[in-house]
């Protein structure tokens, strides 16, 4: 049994040269000089307990039961908070690319406004609870089978949202954020929380995640010329922010007042992954021409990546670009066409009523799966005691299987369900679901000759 405790403390950052300025009481007030990045240090309570054990239930050294639990804090680093200072007044003007004169700053937001903000008063440091339980059994002399459960729970993770949001009215139990402009396409948004200010986009430890998985593995150590490994994972990962924009490309909450509205599959969720790999040293030893041959390979089959279909424009009036989703009106088993020219049926989606948000879950859809096989053949020939000649023939994507990417990889409009029209309307997007990229190359073959000394 192992017991441990880690204290993950860092100081409240300050600056060496340039003064720090932030909005202390958003969305009210203006930018003010501050001495530290945060109002108070959120890292003073970062105690990380750990526990783990291994148990031999039959005392025969062939079966092992293992389990562990730990809390892991992730201190807030400069990559998270720095952009909230140098992208905003008084430094923001230095980041206007290719300014046009005589008006170098068109579309400037009324003060106070910030391009990328960071919460000045975080009460917690992002952290994750991790746990696992597995049983391992020796099947043969060099082969073991492992079956286990692995899970985690992330709390106070960084996510992005507008902290001066458009305030909805509630009509028949439905939140309405704006009304149509009429003959002009677009929505007239309701007033913001502070009508005198513009959008205040901010990153804060307000997101959470969960992960659960069954993991199976068979491992054969190198014996009698053979080494192999097989693994299968069946898992589910959910969160309401897979990344903060500016870092991993995450989107701001589509409903700034309700983070749970964006709870869906993690951007990196792959529900099923199967892998098989191995090495086989051929047993031929008669002469130098047939001695020393070895072949190896790796096979992977994996569920497709999550895919987020959006409305394509601001239909709700929340002014949160690129995050609004349509209504889903078709059963899941009828959505997919599996045609790369239109991966999903456009009839599966309808446009939400003007001023409202759609019901489709974030990252609900799935892109094409991946199947790939790599193979290599190698021969090593000794020349002298310290010299060897190695020949290699390597085949990548041996079966030349086409593994297609997500519809939005090269063309963002391929994830937009509609094209905007006046009076709060939209027409189906003809390019919805069109796939133009692959995730692996076509079959590639290469030969190599190496002199090792």
Task: Give the span between the Cα atoms of 292 and 62, in whole angstroms.
Answer: 34
Q: Which pLDDT does position 248 carry in this prediction?
A: 46
Q: Which two tokens stand for residue 391?
A: 């020949």
pTM for the model stands at: 0.88
DSSP letter (8 states) at residue 239: E
pLDDT value for 103? 56
Q: What is residue 449's predicted lDDT score, i.e. its pLDDT?
A: 96
Least confident stretch, 115-129, 136-150, 349-363: 115-129
Helix (H, G, I), strand (E, B) or coil at 120: coil
CA distance 8 to 207: 20
**Which pLDDT does position 199 carry in this prediction?**
81
Q: Does residue 362 contact residue 263 with C-beta atoms inside 8 Å?
A: yes
At residue 83 the predicted structure's pLDDT band, cuts being 50, 70 and 90, is confident
What tens digit of pLDDT does each residue of 52-66 get? 999 999 999 999 999
Average pLDDT of the residues of the chain: 89
Sign of CA dihedral 344, 349, 354, 360: negative
More confident residue, 290 or 128: 128
Strand spans (E) along 141-253: 143-162, 169-171, 174-176, 178-180, 187-189, 200-223, 226-239
pLDDT for the residue numbered 142: 92
Other beta carbons within 10 Å of 310: 23
Res. 289 pLDDT band, cuts 50 70 90: confident
- At residue 108, the pLDDT reads 46
Helix (H/G/I), strand (E/B), else coil: 86:
helix
Q: For residue 61, what are the CA distances in angstroms to 53, 138, 217? A: 15, 9, 19
What pLDDT, on a 0 to 100 scale, did the predictor assign at position 93?
A: 55
Residue with tokens 């693994």: 231
- What is the Cα–Cα distance from 162 to 317, expressed in whole angstroms? 13
| pLDDT tens track for 246-272 | 444 567 889 999 999 999 999 899 999
Specify the DSSP element, H or E, that contains 390: strand 387-396
Q: Where residue 115 falls among pLDDT bands split at 50, 70, 90?
A: low
φ, ψ at 220 (rounded to 5°): -115, 115
Convert the pLDDT of each residue in 291-316 to its tens digit. 889 999 999 999 999 999 999 899 99
Going by C-alpha positions, the residue among 208, 404, 390 that lies closest to residue 305 is: 404
Please confirm whether the linkage preceding 90 is cis (ω < 30° from 0): yes
- pLDDT surpassing 90 at residue 337: yes
**Residue 338 CB coordination number (10 Å):** 9
Q: In DSSP terms, which residues pair with 301 in a beta bridge?
A: 274, 371
- Output the 3-class SS for 348-375: HEECCCCCCCCCCCCCCEECCCEEEEEE
* CA 113 – CA 194 distance, rounded (Å): 11
Closest CA to 238 of 157, 316, 161, 163: 157
Q: What is the pLDDT of residues 344-386, one digit of tens each?
A: 999 999 999 999 999 999 999 999 999 999 999 999 998 888 8
Q: For residues 336 and 172, what is the distance between their CA atoms, to the nearest angstrom?
A: 33
For residue 203, what pLDDT is reported? Answer: 87
**Angle at Cα 192 formed by Cα 191 and Cα 197, nearest 5°?**
115
Contacts of 192 (CB under 8 A, 6+ apart): 27, 164, 165, 166, 167, 198, 199
Is 322's pLDDT higher than 50? yes
Return the pLDDT at 358: 95
pLDDT beyond 70 at 183? yes
State residue 246's pLDDT score: 47
Query: For residues 167 and 192, is the Cβ–Cβ distance under 8 A?
Result: yes
Output the CA torsion sign for 26, 29, 31, 32: negative
Q: What is the 3-state secondary structure (H, E, C) of 165-192?
A: CECCEEECCEEECEEECCCCCCEEECCE
Token pair for 204: 């804060």
Give the helix ranges, DSSP H, for 105-166: none
Give the pair of three-digit tokens for residue 173: 């139990």
Tokens 């290469």 — which residue? 446
* Helices and strands, number each (H, E), in the chain: 2, 28
Where helices occur in 206-312 by DSSP H, the ranges are: none
> Does 396 score more than 80 pLDDT?
yes
Predicted confidence at residue 393, as pLDDT, reads: 97
- Six-digit token string for 347: 């009839």
Confidence of residue 160 (pLDDT cuts 50, 70, 90): confident
Q: Which residues of 63-79 are buried (b: 16+ CB within 10 A; e: fewer)?
A: ebeebbebbbbbebeee
pLDDT at residue 180 is higher than 90: yes
């Amino acid at each position: 049994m192992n017991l441990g405790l880690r204290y993950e403390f860092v100081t409240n950052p300050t600056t060496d040269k340039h003064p720090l300025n932030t909005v202390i009481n958003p969305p009210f007030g203006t930018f003010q000089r501050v001495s530290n990045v945060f109002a108070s240090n959120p890292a003073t309570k970062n105690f990380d307990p750990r526990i783990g054990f291994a148990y031999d239930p039959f005392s025969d050294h062939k079966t092992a039961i293992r389990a562990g639990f730990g809390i892991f804090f992730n201190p807030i680093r400069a990559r998270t908070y720095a952009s909230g200072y140098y992208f905003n007044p008084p430094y923001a003007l230095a980041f206007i690319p290719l300014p046009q004169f005589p008006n170098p700053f068109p579309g400037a937001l009324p003060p106070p406004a910030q391009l990328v903000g960071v919460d000045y008063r975080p009460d917690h440091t992002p952290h994750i609870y991790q746990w696992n339980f597995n049983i391992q059994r020796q099947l043969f002399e060099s082969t073991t089978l492992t079956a286990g459960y692995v899970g985690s729970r992330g709390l106070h993770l960084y996510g992005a949202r507008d902290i001066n949001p458009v305030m909805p009215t509630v009509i028949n139990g439905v939140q309405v954020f704006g009304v149509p402009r009429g003959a002009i396409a677009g929505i007239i948004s309701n007033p913001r929380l502070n009508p005198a200010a513009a959008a205040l986009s901010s990153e804060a430890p307000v997101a959470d995640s969960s992960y659960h998985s069954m993991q199976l593995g068979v491992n054969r150590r190198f014996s009698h010329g053979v080494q192999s490994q097989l693994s299968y994972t069946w898992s589910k990962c959910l969160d309401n922010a897979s990344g903060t924009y500016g870092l991993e490309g995450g989107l701001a909450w589509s409903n700034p007042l309700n983070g749970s509205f964006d709870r869906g599959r993690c951007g990196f969720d792959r529900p099923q992954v199967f892998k098989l790999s191995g090495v086989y040293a051929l047993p031929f030893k008669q002469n130098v021409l047939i001695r020393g041959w070895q072949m190896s390979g790796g096979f992977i089959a994996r569920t497709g990546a999550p895919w987020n279909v959006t409305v394509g424009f601001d239909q709700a009036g929340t002014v949160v670009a690129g995050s609004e989703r349509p209504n889903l009106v078709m059963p899941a088993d009828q959505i997919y066409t599996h045609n790369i020219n239109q991966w999903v049926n456009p009839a599966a989606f309808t446009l939400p009523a003007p001023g409202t948000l759609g019901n489709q879950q974030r990252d609900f859809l799935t892109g094409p799966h991946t199947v790939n096989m790599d193979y290599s053949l190698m021969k090593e020939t000794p020349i002298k005691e310290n010299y060897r000649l190695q020949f290699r023939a390597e085949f990548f994507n041996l079966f030349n299987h086409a593994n297609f990417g997500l519809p939005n990889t090269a063309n963002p409009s391929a994830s937009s369900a509609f094209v905007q029209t006046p009076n709060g309307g939209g027409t189906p997007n003809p390019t919805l679901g069109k796939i133009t990229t692959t995730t692996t190359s076509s079959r590639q073959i290469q030969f190599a000759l190496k002199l090792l000394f």
